[in-house]
């Protein structure tokens, strides 16, 4: 819903995979990392 593609992986779904495009600007990367930080903070 925030526009960042992630999925779980690993035998026990204990790995989070971040799926950025092959070409990404620094600004978009910082935005995506901010969304991930918000998600981790909400846990």
Model pLDDT, residue 27: 94
Q: Which phi and psi (to 5°) does residue 35 adopt?
A: -65, -40
Contact, 32 vs 18, CB < 8 A? Answer: yes
**∠ Cα 32 22 36 (to 5°):** 15
**Residue 11: what pLDDT?**
92
What is the structure's pLDDT at 14? Answer: 92
Contact (CB, 8 A) for 18 and 28: no
**pLDDT reported for residue 25:** 94
Annotated domain spans of the chain: 6-41
For 1-43, what is each residue's pLDDT tens digit?
A: 777 878 889 999 999 898 888 899 999 999 989 988 998 898 8
Pairing mode, strands 15-18 and 6-9: antiparallel
């Amino acid at each position: 819903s925030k526009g960042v593609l992630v999925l779980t992986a690993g035998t026990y779904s204990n790995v989070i995979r971040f799926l950025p495009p092959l070409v990404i600007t620094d600004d978009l990367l910082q935005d995506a990392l901010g969304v991930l930080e918000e998600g981790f903070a909400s846990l």
